[in-house]
Structure 1
Amino acid sequence: MRCPEHKPRIVISGTYCTGKTSLSLALSLATGIPTTHAPTMREILPGLFPGTSLKDCSYAQLLRLGMERFERRVHAEASLSTGFISDGCPLQEWLYGSTRLITGAYPEENSWTMLWKKIKNYRQHQDFELLLAGFEKMAKTYAKKRYDIFFHLPVEFPFVEDGHRPTSERFRKVSEERLLACYNELQLETIPLTGDLPERLGKALDHLNVQPKIPISQAVSIANDIKLKKFDQVQLERRV
């Protein structure tokens, strides 16, 4: 148990396009608890593999990106000893990489194209699975021990097909199913938050038994503005 004077270590968990960033920002504004955001793979990509698109990354490069994202998340959270709100957690790093092996990531990929990829790159695929299994153990152990509260955001919002994100609706559905199974495997008690952003924020505050420092509507408005200016402006690669 954590001491009463310590703020909780909170995770806003869920798969792609479920509103994690918006809620983590709004909850931080409403509670005064700092929030952390691991950089996306696309933000990390130019520094590690200049000139390579995310879609064209090899299995080894994808794993390297996931590990780098995990490392940066750990460093950010380690500096916040009195509690934080995490936009996602290492389960997402593992989940996104492992789900790619099942569904692919882009809408045009299906079970047949994935089978062909596996056959064509059999040795790389096999090595990736072995390395990913090790990453899975590390991510699950960290998630189990590091966090106090898991708020889960189910798939409720329409998937944004912007032609850039390395994912698809099928990817999102399968990763959601696998994430729920992971919670059960780790015996994590999760609190689902449903509804629009104000409703989710209100439910989170009720669970934490915290009176908001600013009105919910104001926290939501500021969070949306920050997300638009800071997170939605990340340069996305052009697909050819």
Structure 2
Amino acid sequence: MSRTPRPRRSRLLRRLGLVLAALLLVGGIAAVVLRDRVVEEAKNVARDLFADTEALPFEKSLLANSPARYPTSLDFGPDGRLYVAQQDGLIRALTIERRGPSDYAVTDAESITAIQRIPNHNDDGRPNPGLRERLVTGILLTGTRERPVLWATSSDRRVGGGPARKDLNLDTNSGMVSRLDRTGGGWQRRDLVRGLPRSEENHAPNGLALDERTNMLYVAQGS
């Protein structure tokens, strides 16, 4: 990919900065016509800035033989497998083989049910043994090839709220962060955080990121 020469790029960036500053100024004191002119100038600067940039070629292909259904989050693990979380709490670890250009297929799959086995409750705190699934909205893989570590956020799978304002008595404090460690041929689950908020609709804890330097785990929380 070619790039705009540095001196010219610097000039264009300074010009863009001045245009944006002018846009902020006229937003409060000038007429709409003048504001439209500033916006048009900003477009011209942006067009000049990226005029020499070549488009990156992307191709789309489907992953053949994938058993994943209604995926919500995915991440490659240190063991080379693609981990895919599903809406029902099942997590699949997929071994993928490249068969040719833009041609990939699943050759083996492991089903991880540890999150699905988390007990569920209703919003009044009573156990709900009939609810055997969890909504998984975020996973993260760390660890080593021999001992991968799977982090996951999950919550009550029921979805209420919405325009109909349905109250399904779902557990609005069901958000959890769990850690799964590979042990032999299975996974050992440890629930690290409980009681995170879960809306009556479907907002819940989701994305995860780990700062391995400080061992700090960051969790994105829906509200």
TM-score between the two structures when normalised by the length of structure 1? 0.23
Higher relative contact order (CA 8 A, sep 6+): 1
- Which one has a larger percent helix, Structure 1 or Structure 2? 1
TM-score between the two structures when normalised by the length of structure 2? 0.24
- Which one has a larger percent strand, Structure 1 or Structure 2? 2
Structure whose alpha-carbon radius of gyration is higher: 2
